[in-house]
């Protein structure tokens, strides 16, 4: 590999490692990026679909959105307490299970552990369960908040 190719490769990998470079934070790589910006821009565009922008003071890689649509990440929603408890029970029964087991066996063990008398679990009442129960009793369905029925007099 000749000297120019080695310089381009060093600049390419430096930009992959740090997508924003400037002359103060990366003084050893900055001159290489400025010198080979045209070829680097082609490489990033053709190989990765990135756009390289080089100004007088900095260089930055931009990842272009697919089909021109910008997709924001979903908001994190922590799992409900019920899901966390179920995960803990499943982990507890998996610890005592054989090396090779089935999901049915794990499910049966979770059911047995969660129905023990010293374990108190409230029954899950989804919207459809609460509505069906209210209709059977001849009253208007109650409002449902966060998956659990809130009965009103």
Same domain for 10 and 46? Answer: yes
- Domain limits at 106? 77-118
Provide the CA 21 distance to its chain's centre, in angstroms: 27
Q: Is residue 107, in this structure, part of any structural domain at all?
A: yes
Q: Is residue 10, in this structure, part of any structural domain at all?
A: yes
Q: What pLDDT was estimated at residue 14? A: 92
Give the span between the Cα atoms of 114 and 105, in whole angstroms: 14
pLDDT tens digits, one per residue of 89-145 = 888 888 888 888 888 988 888 888 877 777 665 665 555 666 666 666 766 655 544
Q: How far is CA 93 from CA 80, 83, 115, 129, in A?
A: 20, 15, 13, 28
Contact (CB, 8 A) for 14 and 21: yes
pLDDT tens digits, one per residue of 8-26 = 999 999 999 999 998 899 9
The count of residues in the chain is 153
Q: Is residue 87, in this structure, part of any structural domain at all?
A: yes
Q: What is the mean pLDDT of the chain?
A: 79
> What's the predicted TM-score (pTM) here?
0.44
DSSP state of 123: P
Give the span between the Cα atoms of 36 and 30, in whole angstroms: 10
Domain count within the chain: 2
């Amino acid at each position: 590999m000749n000297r120019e190719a080695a310089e381009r490769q060093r600049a390419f990998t430096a930009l992959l490692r740090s997508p924003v470079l400037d002359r103060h934070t990366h003084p050893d790589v900055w001159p290489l990026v400025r010198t080979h910006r045209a070829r680097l821009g082609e490489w990033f565009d053709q190989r990765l679909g990135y756009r390289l922008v080089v100004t007088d003071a900095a260089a930055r890689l931009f990842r272009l959105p697919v089909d021109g649509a910008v997709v924001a990440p979903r908001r994190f929603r922590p799992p409900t307490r019920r899901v966390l408890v179920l995960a803990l029970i499943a982990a507890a029964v998996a610890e005592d299970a054989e090396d090779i087991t089935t999901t049915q066996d794990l499910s049966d063990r979770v059911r047995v552990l969660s129905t023990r008398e010293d374990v108190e679990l409230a029954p899950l009442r989804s919207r459809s369960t609460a509505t069906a129960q209210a209709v059977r009793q001849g009253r208007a369905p109650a409002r449902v908040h966060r998956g659990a029925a809130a009965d009103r007099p």
